[in-house]
Amino acid sequence: MPEPGTEKPDAKCWMGMHDGSPCGREPHDDKGLCICHSKDPDKDDDAFQSKIDAMLGHKEYDFTGFVFPRRFDSFENKTFEGALSLDLATFNDGASFERATFRGPASFRHTRFASDAHFSEATFEGPTSFQRAHFERNTYFHGTTFEDEALFIGYEDKREDNRVFSREAVTDFRFARWHQPDRITFQHVFLGRARFLHCDVRQVDFTDAEWAPRGRHNAVWDEMEPRGPAKSYPLIGKLYRQLKHN
């Protein structure tokens, strides 16, 4: 028996949370990470989900660095009452935030979406950041409302995983509404398969954005999409005029 006061404290998960403090949950793997932060592909999905449900029930929204093994569904019409952090999180099997409402700041910095990501008809009331996030598959912001700042910012180099949106998947911003369009930023991003029909993009910041090539010129995917529904060329022309104004 060790002398009193010399016992080593039980190890806790060391992963940093949004405020910089260590997670402190019980370790799950041999790296000292809890079930929320562990990359173990065989971790118990039910046990993981119970942690998420408990946090949502207590209105705790700090999911920094979490690794979601299965599809994450925030439940339709879910309201996040406070600040949400999914910085450095990984969604391995899709994520759905459809029709969700984000009352406070929402941060998805360095978040990896390995499968489809759904934000259609969601409402972001506070500032929102997708800085250096990476969407590998189809991404849907169809009808999404941004009431404050929204940042989609990648790295300056043009490597595939550094330009926010994948070159292999479609990004849908059709009917998106931005209440402060001059605070919407697309910087160092690939928009070659992004759709913006029915959006007012005249004041949106497009800096170092890559569009779909059409000969010696750039084009919007709303026109180039080969398998989409019948194209409305008057609306596509309106989008081009807005981009020219921009």
Q: What is the pLDDT of residues 11-62, one digit of tens each?
A: 899 999 999 999 999 999 999 999 999 999 999 999 999 999 999 999 999 9
Mean pLDDT for 178-189 is 97
Answer yes or no: is pLDDT of 235 > 80. Answer: yes
Mean of per-residue pLDDT scores for the chain: 92
What's the pTM value of the predicted model, to 2 decimals? 0.91
**Could you write out the three-class secondary structure of the chain?**
CCCCCCCCCCCCCCCECCCCCECCCCCCCCCCCCCCCCCCCCCCHHHHHHHHHHHHHCCCCECCCCEECCCEECCCCCEECCCEECCCCEECCCEECCCCEECCCEECCCCEECCCEECCCCEECCCEECCCCEECCCEECCCCEECCCEEEECCCCCCHHHCCECCCCCEECCCCEECCHHHEEEEEEECCCEECCCCCCCCCEEEEEECEEECCEEECHHHHCCCCCCCCHHHHHHHHHHHHHC
Predicted confidence at residue 31, as pLDDT, reads: 94
